[in-house]
């Protein structure tokens, strides 16, 4: 059943979207390149990697949600008795 109200994407903070995370990663990489401090370059590079990993995770979650909504994935039993997506081989 479709949800009423505004799109969830409109309500999200930038860090809660894959595009926002990728923009933060790019900003951190740019700042790392411009830094004169080895430590700051290292910290910003680590931060950029974390933002990129978060963006990848959000992309996977969104793809799984779309597959669930389209019926490609179905909910099945998990090892702890809860239900979750099955059918992807992942």
Write the pLDDT tens digit of every residue in 24-61: 999 999 999 999 999 999 999 999 999 999 999 999 99
Bridge partners of 53?
none
Q: CB of 76 within 8 A of CB of 84?
A: yes
Q: How far, in Å, CA of 53 to CA of 33, rounded?
A: 20
Domain range annotation of the chain? 13-72
Q: Is 23 exposed, middle or buried (0-12, 13-18, 19+ CB in 10 A)?
A: middle
Stated pTM of the model: 0.67
Q: How far, in Å, CA of 28 to CA of 43, rounded?
A: 9
Question: Among 6-10, 30-34, 74-78, whose mean pLDDT is lowest?
Answer: 6-10
């Amino acid at each position: 059943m479709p949800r009423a109200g505004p799109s969830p994407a409109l309500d999200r903070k930038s860090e809660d979207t894959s595009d926002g995370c990728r923009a933060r990663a790019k900003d951190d990489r740019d700042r790392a390149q411009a830094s004169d401090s080895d430590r700051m370059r290292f910290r910003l590079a680590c931060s950029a990697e974390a933002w990129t990993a978060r963006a990848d995770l959000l992309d996977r979650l969104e793809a799984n949600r779309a597959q669930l909504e389209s019926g490609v994935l179905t909910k099945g039993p998990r090892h702890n008795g809860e239900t979750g997506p099955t059918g992807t081989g992942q």
